[in-house]
Amino acid sequence: MFLYKKALVVVILLVSVVGLYAFEQTLSPQQDITVGDKVVLNIKAEGLTVDSLDKEKLTEANFGDFELLDVQSAQDGSVNFVLSVYKVGKVELLSVEIPYEYIDQKKFVKTNALPIEVKSVLDPKNPPTDILGIKGIVKFHHGLLWYLLFLIVLVVLSLIIYFIYKYIKKKNRKPTQEEIIQSIPPKEYALKQLDDLIALNLIENGHIKEYYDKLSDIIRFYVSRTYSVDGMEKTTTELYSMLKNKIAPEHNRELKNYLINCDFVKFAKLIPSREDIKNDFDIAKSFIEKL
């Protein structure tokens, strides 16, 4: 009776082991595998699916000369392990343990090792003619002086190109209004401004204040350019002080009195007669011509 029970236990253990390791393994393709090709190792076992795999431990599996690229579900529910090999010649797909979980139990399938012949993409009988061997190191036979002269020539050419570019750019650039004014002599420009003021017909249209404002600016701008002072935004008294050491005292007093007269019209709303207006214009022109 004891022997019978012992035999029964052994049978049960054998059945359990067979059930644990029962699986089907298929490799596709098995022949004519070229380096870089993808091969599929299909494993079919009870409860083995893509979702049941222990993917963390699977990443640690060593397939030998093969690299695991992907795990996919086959049409019949089995699992495809997509592999690739990058070694030419006789290689081996090693036996690996594939862990998974089935009915709350941890199981594994241990695959069989497979020797495989991997072919090269190159035909050994007809080696390519477009792939050349590595050439030897090319030595430069020029001395340090040659390279120094070459550098100097390069710098000189760069500077020549730069100055040509700047010259062409400057030549084609249109001058600004301020540059145009600066190119005209101060006296010539001031007299032209007086002629332009007459052409505006401000007096005829009743714009006396604006007329005297422009007349005063013409005088100030002329003096500022001629004696290199900033008199446009200065008061009449300030401009008088700035010109003390630059022009004759009598001319400076005359300029001061003239600008004060313009200020009366501009700010005190003094309305001069037609004769006074003409006289003020002649004084301004005479003042510009004699300075």
Q: How would DSSP label each residue in 61-120?
A: ---BTEEEEEEEE-TTS-EEEEEEE---EEEEE---EEEEEETTEEEEEEPPPEEEEEE-
Write down the domain spans for the chain.
2-119, 144-173, 178-290
The predicted structure's pLDDT at residue 205: 92
The predicted structure's pLDDT at residue 129: 55
Residue range 39-49: mean pLDDT, rounded: 87
Q: What is the CA radius of gyration of the chain?
A: 52
More confident residue, 201 or 108: 201
The predicted structure's pLDDT at residue 8: 44
Q: Given a cut of 60, is residue 131 above it in pLDDT?
A: no
Handedness of CA 245, 246, 249, 253 (dihedral sign): negative
Strand partners, 45: 23
Q: What percent of the chain has pLDDT over 90?
A: 19
Q: Among 126, 97, 129, 89, which Cα is nearest to 113's?
A: 97
CATH class held by domain 2-119: mainly beta
Cβ atoms of 63 and 96 within 8 Å: the answer is yes
Q: Among 221, 176, 179, 174, which Cα is nearest to 196's?
A: 221
Residue range 74-101: mean pLDDT, rounded: 86
How far is 210 from 291, CA to CA, in rounded Å? 25
Q: Given a cut of 70, is residue 14 above it in pLDDT?
A: no
Q: Given a cut of 50, is residue 13 above it in pLDDT?
A: no
Could you read off the pLDDT of 164-215 as tens digits, one per residue? 888 888 777 787 878 788 889 998 999 999 999 999 999 999 899 999 999 9
Q: Given a cut of 90, is residue 137 above it in pLDDT?
A: no
Mean pLDDT of the chain: 82
The predicted structure's pLDDT at residue 218: 93
Q: Given a cut of 80, is residue 19 above it in pLDDT?
A: no
0.75 cut: is pTM over it? no
More confident residue, 142 or 103: 103
How far is 279 from 123, CA to CA, in rounded Å? 109
Q: Given a cut of 90, is residue 61 above it in pLDDT?
A: no
Could you read off the pLDDT of 26-39 as tens digits, one per residue? 888 877 788 888 88
Return the structure tokens found at 69.
Answer: 């690229």
The predicted structure's pLDDT at residue 130: 54
Strand blocks (E) in the chain: 23-28, 33-34, 38-45, 66-73, 79-85, 89-93, 97-102, 105-110, 114-119
Could you read off the pLDDT of 145-159 as tens digits, one per residue? 888 898 999 999 999
